[in-house]
Structure 1
Amino acid sequence: MKQLFDNAGVALLQTSTIALPAAELAAEVAYIRSDFKGWIRDKFDLHPNQEQQLAIMPDDFTQRLAHAIADRYEQRMPVQFYKETRAEDDSTDLKDLILNGMDQVTYTLGSEPSVTIPDLAIWIRYKRNI
Structure 2
Amino acid sequence: MQAYGVREVATGVAILMSHDPTPWILARVGGDALDLATLATGFEDDNPKQSNLAAATAAVAGVTILDVVCAQGLIGQKRLSRPGAFDYSDRSGFARPARTMRGAASDFATPEDFRIPGPLRPWTETRA
Question: Shorter-chain TM-score: which interval?
Answer: under 0.3
Going by fraction, where is helix more abundant, 1 or 2?
2
Higher Cα radius of gyration? 2
Which of the pair is proportionally richer in strand?
1
Q: State the TM-score, normalizing by the size of structure 1.
A: 0.26
Q: Which has the higher contact order (CA 8 A, sep 6+)?
A: 1
